[in-house]
A = this chain, B = another copy of it.
Amino acid sequence: MFWGVRMNLKKKVSLAVVKRLPRYYRYLSDLLKMDIKRISSQELSSRMGITASQIRQDLNCFGGFGQQGYGYNVEFLFNEIGNILGLNNDYHAIIIGAGNMGQALANYTNFEKRGFKIIGIFDVNTSLVGTDIRGIPIRHLDELESFVQENYVDVAMLAVPFEQTPIVAERAAKLGVKGLWNFSPMDLKLPYDVIIENVHLSDGLMVLGYKLNEKFEFIREDSSKGNDGNS
């Protein structure tokens, strides 16, 4: 791997734009599958539900290959965004916690397509230790330190119980793991030089709730009270 070289090729883009890139990346990959070679910001806008001007603003970060009357070269744009996101890297990830969420993550093959290879899974449940998921062995959490010292681990995906999360996160950070992807519903913060992405599943659910509330009149019979919302 020539990380150094790749680093030099990477462009600098604002994080606000970066956060929208995965979505562009997915849509462009769909276009490629449909063998669509080029697309205008207007077409992309109607597909993605983002304004064309927002799209032009975002994609201007990647230089002037969106040409008047031509639009965007889908494959070029796809590859450029992949480069910016560093998807051609191979990160080594471990999963800490092999409960339902941890196992769901271990079975989520998409991560490998994004450059994240899961090289280890850890749990304290002795009935799980020694088994494997997709060929990845589940080790006892006691082995975390020795494993991380012997293997390159860039990212730890944390899928442990809420109260265990800060403890396990600190152990991983102290070992020099560079990134933590936390699935416990908390904004994990640590006094270490580690990048933390907190996943808040219920945030998306709350937004869904808002849209439901906005769109639908929730007037319905209430079986518990036996009257309806109008009364």
- Interface residues of chain A, those whose CB is within 8 Å of chain B, are 1-7, 10, 12, 15, 18-19, 21-23, 25-27, 84-87, 89, 91, 99-101, 103-105, 107-108, 110-111, 113-116, 152, 154-155, 178-179, 181, 185, 187, 195, 197, 199-220, 222-223, 225, 229-230
Inter-chain contact B181/A91, CB cutoff 8 Å: no
Task: Known contacts A210-B84, A229-B3; decide if A100 and B107 are in contact (CB<8 Å).
Answer: yes
* Chain B residues whose C-beta falls within 8 Å of the C-beta of A197 in the assembled complex: 204-205, 207-208, 211
Partner of A229, one of B1, B113, B210, B220: B1
Taken together, the copies of this chain in the complex come to 2
CA distance A105 to B166 in the complex (A): 21
* Chain B residues whose C-beta falls within 8 Å of the C-beta of A203 in the assembled complex: 22-23
10 closest Cβ pairs, A-B complex: A3-B229, A100-B104, A22-B203, A3-B218, A86-B213, A101-B104, A100-B103, A197-B208, A22-B206, A100-B100
Task: Known contacts A107-B100, A110-B185, A110-B202; decide if A217 and B3 are in contact (CB<8 Å).
Answer: yes
* Chain B residues whose C-beta falls within 8 Å of the C-beta of A104 in the assembled complex: 99-101, 104
* Chain B residues whose C-beta falls within 8 Å of the C-beta of A18 in the assembled complex: 207, 210
